[in-house]
Each structure stands twice: as structure tokens, then as C-alpha cells.
Amino acid sequence: MAEGHFDDFAINLSEKLQLRCHAGSQGGPLELTVNGYKIGTAQLEFRTPFATLLSSIRLSRRHGDTSKRKALAARMAKAARVFTSPPAEDASAKELEQRLQLLVGQIPAWAVFATNFTLTVLQIFSLLLFRKTITRLSDQEADRCSRFFAKYPILRILSTAANVPLMLTVYSTPSFLKKKDQSIPPPVIQTEPERFMALSFTPSHRWSQEPLEVDAVVVGSGAGGAAAAYELASQGHAVAILEEGHYFKRADFIGDRVGAMGRYYRDGGYAFVVSNTPVWLPTGRCVGGTTTINAGTCFRLPSKIMDRWKFKNGLTDVDLDPYFPEVEAMLDVKPVNPDLHGPIREIVEKGLQGTEYHCEPLTRGETGCDGQGHCIIGCPTGAKRSTDVSYIPAAMKCGAHLFTHYKVEEILFSDKPHESGVKQAIGVRAQLPGYGPEFSIKILAKKVILAAGSLNTPNLLSRAGLRRHLPALGRNLSIHPAIAVGARFDRNVHKKMFVPQSLAAFSPLHQNFALEGYTLAADAIPVAMPLFRDDLAELMEHSDEFANFSAMLSDASLGRLLFPKKGGCIPMYFFDAEGIDRVKTAVQTLIEMFFNAGAKTVYAPVLGFEKIKGAFDAERFKQTQFRARDFFALNAHHPLGTCVMGTDVSNSVVSSKGAVWGVENLFIVDGSVLPGPLGVNPQVTIMANAIRIARGIGKELKCRP
């Protein structure tokens, strides 16, 4: 620590909030206070540049063996010509290898295993059939290899782990995006200083052994956690927010799809449901949670779903209507500007003309959107009102403290049971994963509020030993399965600036799904469309003639979470006959819509129907009986219900007030408490419910000394 003298200083961020440092010759403790009430201290460290350099050196292999990852990237680059048939300017295996190394270093261990297995099967097939390694295959032989993998569902599924990084890498280079007239955000030259960021702390602060003390600690900064933190902080309560991910700012969102997967998504974007067909289930791991990487679509809870909650789940005292207006005001919710709908509007309206469907613009939370089109990899303009630019800054301006990169390891309970005889939550312990105890932090709180999401919140409760006491924990998982269908036209249907999710279509005859499209950017097309090699290369060459639309389904069945002994949780969700029928009906509707709109070829992620060229193929699709594994590109973005609200501990995890049964001072405010499925995008419902619960918590805090 460097010698020197530092005067006492204080920073007043608002009338409620002050940071004060009492410094001596070596620096001193940083006091965090709200309304004059000290909630904790940290040790400031002043170091010379040389000392800083030495302390930054870490001899760690926690991210895996670098040489093995390089070897895997090299193998994948060699296999690229079998699966992707890359553009001419990107055909060099060496260049591909260099770009793949970044992505390979982000994927989880199971994906590394699956990729190695796929490449080994490919090499064996090449040797047995052609007596050649894959690098020596002719174009015709490589095409035969790709068709072999496309023919069998199990091989297609296994090849996904290798294909996703391959296709992202091949088709996301700046030269290719520029050629396709893709929007590339300009770098942010200068950003305005944000005074509230003085309340954002990372593990670079070495906390004293003394725990921080607050009124409420909130675990998670997504839709539920951010809204609850703001509500309590605005009431004057001392609030600490713990977030496992990083606080990315506007300058970090540069439209880089390859880098975004590792930076903003949990598990590098490789999150899937254990199912009878592959289902991608991406969630965010950053400040703002999944709101940072969603499309920004906002719906109020449909009245029929609220009625179901009341009559089926017994939630007669839950009323969210009073809270929707304030959520919508915070998010600046409004219909998408018609100028930013893009050509898909004309296609959908023409394709559904004369049917029972009615089209309408979607409502989104945004201020000043110009149609950059990068919603799911971070808004580069800050227009999308995700919680990292709405509720979290608002909460910090009211005095809430944000601690990033901290993963909660343990819920703390009092040694002395409450007078009622139940357990009493008193705080949490968190640390920087992979580092020593000097980076751990203990926060004591009058109220512990969990908002880590429908997968991580149940995991925290399970690790706290509450699973036996809560039989409904991890059950009732709904995910809103979705599937995209694409089409190629004989004209240009591309627009550079547009809102990807701008339009929806609803039918009174098909209430089990809604047509709610997300227009794919050029570099996302090969990941979503089920094509290999020459077929893919042909489509990408004419990507300006390509359009797509999606269907989002209400769940026909519910899944559950498994909790392995080693920790974590595994989502399981299986499609029954009714669920398969809903997927088929939705895909069939999209096929008919595109052909009615004038498409010459339709692309569906369905085995045997990857390219549908006319009425004969469309009719054959109608007559086919499908299995779940025939649909191989399903995705889901709305996991709900794993800590469901209810009337007693036998059928639910929390009460209507969000309180965990049998535990004092422990609450849940994220989507896990919602009795799903909702049938619509859930973020507004989650926020409204979180504010409702937080308002009740605030009343309890005011009533207690």
C-alpha cells in the first residue's frame, strides 16, 4: 500500500445518501450511510501501479486448459466446410480458428464434451465411408457428410453444440455484416458521468470482517429484484442489491453477437432444458438480468389468467391492476412506431388476410428507439428500458447499494428460532466465485428478498435445506415454448433499421399460441434455420430475400427442476401429445401464412420439412404425425412457477404476500412465484407483482423498530 496522506472526504449523492471516508496515512474505512444510518464499511486500498500489476497476476486454471480449448477450436474450424460452407472471404480455417477460440472459451463443460463427440463421429464417418479425413473431403463428399447428420435426429441434436459457435463465427464477421447491410453500432466516444455509480461496488473492495447491515437485501437485479429494490429504497429503507453478473453500460453493447453470448448470458448462452427435444432456455447473467437481453415487449397480465389465479390457485387477494400503470410509466411502454415495423408487417398482414387472425403492434418499454435491432444482445443506444437503465439507477439514486460479481452462497438463519418456532432469515453470504474468502461479503438484513430467477431462486432454497419442508419447490415449471419459421421471397424484404419484435397476431380459434415474431438479423439466421452447407450458403447469399416469424405457445404440460447432490438444478420439461399438437398447428399456420404472402420457399425446423417448396409439401406436413424430437429448434424465454404462490405449503412455496412458508423474513419476488403459463411476455407482470410484495414488506419494516 502506497505511503501518503489522504484527507477525510464525503460524497453527497442525494439528501438521503452519503459516502464518507475517514482516511489516515494508509487510507481508511469507507462508510456507507443512508439517512445518517451506517450500514457497513469497506477498506480502501491505495496502491502503486507496480503493486497493482503484481496483485492482478493470477495463476489459475479455473476456466479450463487453454491448450485444450485451442485444440477444440482447431477441430471445429476444420469441420466448418462440412456444416457451414463459409463465405469466400472467411474460408480460411486459420482465421476461423482464431475467432472460434474466443467463443469456445465461454461454453460450459457439457457443450465441450458434446462438441468433441460430434467431431469424433464426423471424423469416423468420413474415414469409414471415404477413407479420408474431413480436411481432404471433396465438396460432394462434404455435402454427403452434412446430409448424414441432418437425416438423424440424435446426430442433429448432438451437432448443435458444434454448429452454434461455428455459424455464429462464420457469419458474424464485420465484412459479412457490412456486405449484408446489417446495422453496426458506432462506438460510444463519450458518456456522461453518473453520480449514482458511486454506489456500485465490485469485489475489488476488500470488506472488513464486520458484516453490512441493511433493512433489506435483494438477490438479483432483473425484473422482480430491481422493481422491489426501487420500491423499498424510495420509501427510505436501506437496501443492498446483490448481482452475480457485471454492470454493463451503453459503451459495452457493440452489437457483437459472439462476444455477447459469453458476457451477458448465463452459461455462455448454452442453457437447455432436459426434454424429449432440444429446447434452448437463455437467461441473463448481468445487471438487469434477462431484461437486458430480451426484446423489451410489455404485456399486462390477461384478465382470464388473473381469474385462473383466483379460482384455481386461491389467490383472491392478489390484484395487480393498481400497479401496472406505474410499471408502464417507469418503462415508458407504448406501441412500436410503425416506421420501425419493417417489411414483416406487410408480409404478415397479407398472409393472414381473410383469416380469423387480427394483427396489432406490440407494446415495448423504450424511449427513443431508432431500430438498431440488437435488443437481445444489449441495446447500444440505451433506449430499451431494461432494469439496468430504469429501475436499478432509480433505486441507486434513492440510496440502494449495488454489489456486482457477488454470487450468493448461503442464506443466513438466526441461531435462535422466532417466537413462533419457525426459522428466521437474517441475511446472506456471498463471494466472488473461484476466489478466496477475502472477497466474500456478509450482509445482515431485516428482510431477505430472493429474485434470482425461476432456476436459481429454487436452487438457493434447496441449498438452504428447505426442500423437504417445501414439497412444491421446483415444480410447476412453465416456459412458453416458441418456434420460428422462415421464408424466402422473390424480392428484397430487408430493412436496415427496424425493431425485431414489433408485431403480433392473435386468433380466437387458436388461443393456445400467439404469432409473435422476432425478425432475425443476418448473423442470427444460420443459428435458427435448420440448414447445412450448400442449402445454408444459398440462403445466406440471398438473406435480403428472407423473412421469419414465430409462434409462442402456452404450455400444455408443466416441468420441474431436479436438484443434484453436488448442487445446482436441472430443468426438465417434456412435451406430451397435446403439446406436440400445439407446436404442429403453430408451424402449419406460419407455413400457410408465408405461402399466402407469396413466399417461394418456406424453412421450418422440423425433420423432413427443412425446405418446403410448395403446396404438395405443405399438404404432406398436415398429414404427418410428428414426435417431439422432430421439432429440433424450439426455444423458451419465460421460465415461471418453480416457487409458485398459493394458499398453503402443500401446493405452493410462498404465500400471496411472497413470504416463504415456514420461514420468517424470507420473500421471493421474481417470476418463479407466478402460477404460469401466462400466454404473454411476463416482465410487466413480474414487476407489478414485485412492487405489490415490496410494498407489503415496506409496511412491515415501518412497523418494526
Confidence of residue 511 (pLDDT cuts 50, 70, 90): confident
Who has greater pLDDT, 69 or 127? 127
Confidence of residue 86 (pLDDT cuts 50, 70, 90): low
Q: Tell me the pLDDT tens digit for each residue of 381-390.
A: 999 999 999 9
pLDDT of 392 over the 80 cut? yes
Over residues 268-280, mean pLDDT: 89
Q: How far is CA 626 from CA 479, 590, 620, 632, 697, in A?
A: 21, 17, 12, 12, 49
Cα–Cα distance, 533 to 511 (Å, whole number): 37
Q: What are the phi and psi torsion angles at 182 (to 5°)?
A: -85, 145
Who has greater pLDDT, 174 or 205? 174
Who has greater pLDDT, 537 or 25? 537
Cα–Cα distance, 562 to 567 (Å, whole number): 10
The secondary structure of 209-240 as a DSSP string is SSPEEEEEEEE--SHHHHHHHHHHHHTT--EE
pLDDT of residue 97: 78
Over residues 194-223, mean pLDDT: 84
Confidence of residue 363 (pLDDT cuts 50, 70, 90): very high
pLDDT of residue 10: 57
Q: HSE of 521 in the Cβ direction (CA atoms, 13 Å)?
A: 27
Cα–Cα distance, 457 to 142 (Å, whole number): 46
Over residues 402-428, mean pLDDT: 87
Q: Tell me the pLDDT tens digit for each residue of 451-508.
A: 999 999 999 999 999 999 999 999 999 999 999 999 999 999 988 899 999 999 999 8
pLDDT of 4 over the 50 cut? no
Coil, strand or helix at 264: helix
Burial of 533 (0-12, 13-18, 19+ CB in 10 A): buried
pLDDT of residue 6: 41
Who has greater pLDDT, 205 or 626? 626
In the chain, the percentage of residues whose pLDDT exceeds 90 is 56
Cα–Cα distance, 543 to 213 (Å, whole number): 56
pLDDT of residue 52: 43
The answer for residues whose C-beta is within 8 angstroms of residue 337's C-beta and 6 or more apart is: 369, 499
Confidence of residue 159 (pLDDT cuts 50, 70, 90): confident
pLDDT of residue 205: 59
pLDDT of residue 47: 44
Q: What are the phi and psi torsion angles at 154 (to 5°)?
A: -65, -40
Pick the closest to residue 164 from 262, 70, 283, 296 (CA basis): 262
Who has greater pLDDT, 241 or 8? 241
Grid cell 463427440 in the structure block, residue: 117
Q: What is the DSSP letter of 89?
A: G
pLDDT of residue 418: 61
Coil, strand or helix at 161: helix
pLDDT of residue 186: 78
pLDDT of residue 62: 42
Orientation of helix 324-331 relative to helix 683-703, angle to 10°: 110
pLDDT of residue 35: 62
Who has greater pLDDT, 263 or 641? 641
pLDDT of 154 over the 80 cut? no
From the CB of residue 6, how many other CB atoms can be counted at a distance below 10 Å? 15
The pTM of the full predicted model, rounded to 2 decimals, is 0.89
Grid cell 422473390 in the structure block, residue: 490
What rounded mean pLDDT belongs to the chain?
Answer: 86
Pick the closest to residue 201 from 36, 412, 439 (CA basis): 439
Helices (H) and strands (E) in the chain, counts: 19, 28
Coil, strand or helix at 8: coil
SS3 content of the chain, % helix, strand, coil (to 5): 40, 20, 40
pLDDT of 554 over the 90 cut? yes
Over residues 251-263, mean pLDDT: 85
CATH superfamily of 199-334+374-476+639-703: FAD/NAD(P)-binding domain (3.50.50.60)
In the chain, the percentage of residues whose pLDDT exceeds 70 is 87
pLDDT of residue 125: 85
Over residues 574-582, mean pLDDT: 95
In terms of DSSP bridges, do strands 423-431 and 663-664 run parallel, antiparallel, or are they unpaired? parallel
pLDDT of residue 279: 93
Report yes or no: 473 and 462 within 8 Å, Cβ to Cβ: yes
Who has greater pLDDT, 205 or 460? 460
Confidence of residue 567 (pLDDT cuts 50, 70, 90): confident
Cell triple for 508 = 380466437
Report yes or no: 651 and 472 within 8 Å, Cβ to Cβ: yes
The residue extents of the domains of the chain are: 9-57, 66-170, 199-334+374-476+639-703
pLDDT of 63 over the 70 cut? no
The answer for residues whose C-beta is within 8 angstroms of residue 513's C-beta and 6 or more apart is: 551, 552, 553, 554, 582, 585, 586
pLDDT of 286 over the 90 cut? yes
Cell triple for 97 = 480458428
Between 82-96, 235-249, 602-616, the lowest mean confidence (pLDDT) is in 82-96
The secondary structure of 353-394 as a DSSP string is TTSS-EEEEPEEEBSS------GGG--TTS-B--TTTTHHHH
Q: Tell me the pLDDT tens digit for each residue of 120-151.
A: 888 888 888 888 888 888 888 888 888 888 88
pLDDT of 61 over the 60 cut? no
Grid cell 417470476 in the structure block, residue: 671
Residues belonging to the chain: 705
Pick the closest to residue 257 from 165, 178, 159 (CA basis): 165
In terms of DSSP bridges, do strands 279-280 and 634-636 run parallel, antiparallel, or are they unpaired? parallel
